[in-house]
Structure 1
């Protein structure tokens, strides 16, 4: 990555250029072992992604309509709107994850007097696996992203702060 370059978060074909936060929640199924107090994590159950962004510029209403169209897309309408969606859900591509098979489950748009030329958007997506092949492909892409980020030099401006004992003893 090059410092100063704005890399968008992609939700399907819709780029979000001004993302303020992105949260990935993962849940896991717990099974009790019969006759024991022990439990074991047996499989992942849910993955949700929440994106908070600001839609700015002249295209803000077009991006809003694009997100609404993606949210309304059902499996029956998927081949007409995006031919590959009958095989996989919405891909979400960002610096933290590449997740296939996502579906928008919530959209919230807010416009205020303080930001008349901008729209705050909150998007909630849930993973809805369509096939085991796309689930494996999504995990492979996510692993490739993690490996690539680990190998790339960091552009973070955050500098670790030394711990100091400031006469607290």
Structure 2
């Protein structure tokens, strides 16, 4: 499982995967045959998680409210979101100005007491200042995450000749 993830004010504890996709605008350099990536044009984060326990209904409703509420009402509920949009905080990134574009909840026979969650967020910058603050926060996260311990190395598996087929 991946680390814990905070989407706005909603904690996701059983995250299975996080995928971040960044697109870049490529433009031709004037008077040249060369091209250059000038700026990010799209940033999307997809989080797959499992909502467990009796709190799963509350987390589901909180995510729906976060996705449906207008920015003005959202800012009234959580004043920090008036400046930054929906922040996403995890081991992969610290991204500000995100907006929920897709929510998918699945309940199956195999997991009656859990919901599978897939949430898609897209970067919608409010201003160049908050975009810059988000990039600086993401850069500040990089050295700190390198100091965290990683997954331990797998133990050796003894091998012995088995029966031939």
State TM-score, norm by structure 1.
0.84
Write the distance in 2 (CA, Å) between the matches of 1:116 and 1:63.
16
Q: Which runs of 5+ in 2 are unaligned?
A: 157-165
Q: Which runs of 5+ in 1 are unaligned?
A: 1-5, 162-169
Question: More deviation in 7-16 or 45-54?
Answer: 7-16
Match of 1:156 in 2: 151
1:51 aligns with 2:29: no
1:15 aligns with 2:11: yes
1:124 aligns with 2:130: no
Deviation at 1:37, TM superposition (A): 3.7
Question: More deviation in 132-141 or 60-69?
Answer: 132-141
Match of 1:80 in 2: 76
Secondary structure of 2:54's match? Answer: coil
Residues 91 and 31 of structure 1: CA distance in aligned 2, closer, same or farther (over 3 Å): same
Residues 153 and 74 of structure 1: CA distance in aligned 2, closer, same or farther (over 3 Å): closer
Secondary structure of 2:132's match? Answer: helix
Deviation at 1:153, TM superposition (A): 4.5
Deviation at 1:108, TM superposition (A): 0.4
Secondary structure of 2:71's match? Answer: coil
Secondary structure of 2:101's match? Answer: strand
State TM-score, norm by structure 2.
0.86
Residues 90 and 39 of structure 1: CA distance in aligned 2, closer, same or farther (over 3 Å): same
